[in-house]
Structure 1
Amino acid sequence: MRAKENPFKPTAGGEPPLLIGRKRIIRDFEKGLDNGVGAPGRIMLITGARGTGKTVMLTVFGDRARARKWDVIEETASEGLCERLVNELRARDAALDRLSIRPSLSFAGVGVSLGEADLSPKRMPETLRKAMAERLSSLEKRHAGLLISIDETQAAERSDMIAIATAIQHQIRERRNIAIVFAGLPQMVSDLFNDEVITFLRRARTNVLTDIPIDEVRSALATTFETSGMTITEKQLQVAAQSTAGYPYMIQLVGYHIWDAGDLRDSDTISDQDVHDGLVEARKDLDNAVCIPELHGLSRRDREYLEAMSQSDGPVSTAEVAERMGKSANYAATYRKRLLDAYVIRETERGEVDFAVPFLREYLRRVAA
């Protein structure tokens, strides 16, 4: 019997029913928790292009930690990160002081506020360290630990990363039961972690999320359709798997829309038309969720550089891109750097450039056609 609920979950950060190609990373994390203080998996960095499942991994890690009765704090890097962490660390213990204090005096029974005394950024490493220590002391009474996960790490302020690195380093020195996982885009995170002041974080176990082999995609799709009560042929599975190019977000989109097309007909059997219609809808969703937002805010020249790149099926040299643009190599190099910094493109080992955003090449070709 066909399930009532679509088993595929193409929602950002949502945990899909079947995690493909990530078992080793999850095992490393779990072993880190189970093997105690100093285990490699307790400081981890998850990187990969947009849509490869970084946020999903943080969600999974949080679930696995909670299953072990650990407390979990999940944050996204942005302005005020450390202040939010301190508040989270102290939130579950009413006896602890708050981040800000509001001193006041009383004259003849009338209270007079002296204003809010905010803690300065210079004091933040000390404040965060103390808040972590207090929370961990409370947790140790019930033999539990603390996991902190930080998403979009490339957006973190340098001062926040220094404070976090300092606080974590002290907890590990004191053999406290803590783990931390960072997730972010490869190039930006690499720049951040190469900061001389944050060298401690270089010890993090790095896991790069890449595309999933097509055979594994096909097998995962087959299992998910079968488990949900939908019949799908080997040929249809192969077409569906190939269309994803192994891109994790596209895998969920393709599965979701093909399953939905069959369900719309109130059928337990996927037809070739369901596959066709599902792929069309999946591409639309991918364009709207990934490709179009990626191009938003880029200059006309940035787009010209990308359009010139899209004429190649793979990596291409800046000299060749410049020639297609009708510009000098030095001129094109300016836009190459801008796009590299934004992680829209990436540099290959041979010094050529390729798209860092999956399916962006195909989108640009369709738009230009």
Structure 2
Amino acid sequence: MKNPFNPSFGRVPKIYLDREQTVHQLEEDIQDVDSPYLTTLIYGMRGSGKTTLLTDISHDIRKRADWIVVDLTMGDALIPTLIELVYKQADSTLKNLLKSIDGISVSAAGVLKIAYQRNQASVTNSPHQPLLESLAETLQQRKLKLLITIDEISSTPALREFAAIYQILLRNEYHIALLMAGLPSKVSELQNDDVLTFLLRSQRIYLEPLSLLTIKNSYRQAFSRGKREIDEHTLNFITKITNGYAYAFQLLGFLLWRTGKSLIDQATVDQVLADYKAELFRNVYLKMYQELSPVDRKFVLTMAELGGNTVKTSVIGTRMNKSKNYISIYRRRLLDDQLITAPSWGELSFTLPFFAEFVIEYHDLY
């Protein structure tokens, strides 16, 4: 049996936990032109499954004959790329309609060319607005809907321009759905942009940690189907050391399966534990840590050095020799970034497995 676990970023794994209902509901919601979910922001920490969720929805909607799906990546040419990808997926009739739009032409070699008059008047003062309005009108004439996904969003001039025009297209009741995914801080930055306040009214989906019970049952079923035996103690242990982190669930399952052992016991787990930590540290934690401010790093280092599953916020303040108000600012920042959680009043803990160990081991290097 092929390894059912897949820790590759962006790929939809065979075992896809706690997200199926979100995917199904969102796919149904965007069918309605009046749905508030036509504009949805999906956010969570790295490795929480944002890209996978976008990919899953994109693949499903692409199968519907009345939808065109465009997956965009952040860059300076969001709108030209969007137009090119719509044209690429169009049938011959739609291609001819698109070529009739003022500003769109196709060379003899079949290369799409986009030209516009920069002095064209528009509400957004963007030369792209007339093009996108014509594109939307053409799709509407063909009774086609458009799904646009954008991953790893950040507040750039190109995205601000696109979002401002998209708002106008929504007001004109074109059936265009926009799903954007990003880190919590990036989503917050985009929503607080003075030009894009309408995003404050968009729907938001927070990808929470996976249920430990779901993880345990999924491990049990996967190993059973693969004729792998695992005892209850080992099953509980591997579940706990994922800490509900989606990437960790896939990674640990992948490594254990790859051992080829018919009996998965504590010795098998010990065999892969070093690789498990190394992959977490290199593939996810290092980037997270590098993005932290110096004070954020000091905060998490203090937490790590204090040890234990939970640390009192007051003790962190004492160790850092900082006031309660000062500590609360960085506590809130790290909570918003989902690196830490508050399991009870006045206490904090790390959300990621072995993150304290990573910080202690690597803080001197960065």
Which residue is 1:361 aligned to? 356
Q: Any conservation in 2 of the 1:294–1:344 contact (CA below 8 Å)?
A: no
Q: CA deviation at 1:197?
A: 2.6
Change (3 A) 1:280 1:166: same
Matched, 1:294 2:292: no
Change (3 A) 1:340 1:302: closer
- What's the secondary structure of 1:244's corresponding residue? coil
TM-score normalised by length of structure 1: 0.77
Spell out, residue by residue over 1:196-246, the C-alpha distance to the aligned partner (whole angstroms, 9 max, x if none).
431222232211111111111111222333344444333332222111011
Q: Any conservation in 2 of the 1:129–1:166 contact (CA below 8 Å)?
A: no
Name the stretch that deviates more: 221-230 or 118-127: 118-127
Which residue is 1:17 aligned to? 14
- What's the secondary structure of 1:147's corresponding residue? strand
Which residue is 2:110 aligned to? none
Q: What is the RMSD of the two structures over their aligned residues, measured on CA atoms?
A: 4.0
Which residue is 2:319 aligned to? 324
Count of residue pairs the alignment pairs up? 344
Output the CA distance in 2 between the equivalents of 1:226 and 1:118: 64
- Corresponding letter in the other structure for 1:254: L
Q: Any conservation in 2 of the 1:125–1:167 contact (CA below 8 Å)?
A: no
Output the CA distance in 2 between the equivalents of 1:357 and 1:83: 39
Q: CA deviation at 1:85?
A: 3.3
In structure 1, stretches of 5+ residues that fail to align are 102-115
- What's the secondary structure of 1:74's corresponding residue? strand
Change (3 A) 1:359 1:40: farther
Which residue is 1:274 aligned to? 268
Match of 1:44 among 37, 40, 52: 40
Q: CA deviation at 1:366?
A: 5.2
Q: CA deviation at 1:127?
A: 4.3
Which residue is 1:73 aligned to? 70
Which residue is 2:224 aligned to? 226
Name the stretch that deviates more: 198-207 or 341-350: 341-350
Q: Any conservation in 1 of the 2:155–2:186 contact (CA below 8 Å)?
A: no
TM-score normalised by length of structure 2: 0.77
Q: Any conservation in 2 of the 1:258–1:279 contact (CA below 8 Å)?
A: no
**Percent identity (aligned):** 26
Q: CA deviation at 1:270?
A: 3.2
Output the CA distance in 1 between the equivalents of 2:40 and 2:328: 34
In structure 2, stretches of 5+ residues that fail to align are 90-94, 107-114
- What's the secondary structure of 1:192's corresponding residue? helix
Which residue is 1:109 aligned to? none
- What's the secondary structure of 1:73's corresponding residue? strand
Q: Any conservation in 1 of the 2:38–2:178 contact (CA below 8 Å)?
A: yes
Match of 1:309 among 288, 303, 314: 303
Output the CA distance in 1 between the equivalents of 2:234 and 2:201: 45
Output the CA distance in 2 between the equivalents of 1:120 and 1:306: 52
Output the CA distance in 2 between the equivalents of 1:211 and 1:278: 23
Q: CA deviation at 1:64?
A: 1.7
- What's the secondary structure of 1:149's corresponding residue? strand
